[in-house]
Amino acid sequence: MEKHPYDCLIHYKLMHQELIKGPVVSLSLVSFYADKDKLPYYLYRITLGNIQIGKISLRLGVDEYIMIEGHIGYDIDKAYQGHHYAYYALELIKTLARAHGYQKVLITMNPQNQSSIKTVLKAHGKLISPSYPVSPSHIYYVLGYTHVHVYEITL
């Protein structure tokens, strides 16, 4: 059976990834979630020194929602937006994705989110679907997102 182009090789937690240090921000592991009904994923705090400024996650694998949710999701607290911290965190989480055997990852976003679009483009993301439909049964739809942008980043 051929590997899905957006799947990884290792679907379980790698050891010794509790802290990923970077030159600007660091990622501190909150938890690794392995629920049988969802893709396993890492959740990290994004920290600037000792201050938590946001969070970032990496989902492992492929399911029917990956084109809506993406492999990587991030959020920077409002007080810290505008300083490229999301980009630096994205660069760090890409190293973890590579360690899991990803060659490409997907990032999705609200088409109105210009800051995230700039972040993903800076990280060499390529728009592969400008208007991917969100299923009415998905929580994003309930939150008002009927379509998402889907970007691909080659690692």
Does residue 123 sit within a domain? yes
Is this prediction's pTM over 0.75? yes
Does residue 9 sit within a domain? no
Does residue 3 sit within a domain? no
- Which tens digits make up the pLDDT trace of 75-108? 999 999 999 999 999 999 999 999 999 999 999 9
Q: Please enumerate, as own/partner, the contacts of 114-123 that have beta carbons within 8 Å and a separation of 24 or more.
A: 115/81, 115/82, 115/86, 116/86, 117/149, 119/84, 119/86, 119/87, 119/90, 120/90, 120/151, 120/153, 122/84, 122/87, 123/87, 123/90, 123/91, 123/94, 123/153
Does residue 8 sit within a domain? no
| CATH number, domain containing residue 139 | 3.40.630.30
- Which tens digits make up the pLDDT trace of 131-147? 999 999 999 999 999 99
The better pLDDT of the pair 15, 34 is held by: 34
Whole domain around residue 100: which residue ranges?
19-154
- The residue among 5, 129, 103 whose CA lies nearest residue 62 is 5
Does residue 105 sit within a domain? yes
Does residue 147 sit within a domain? yes
pLDDT at 38: 84
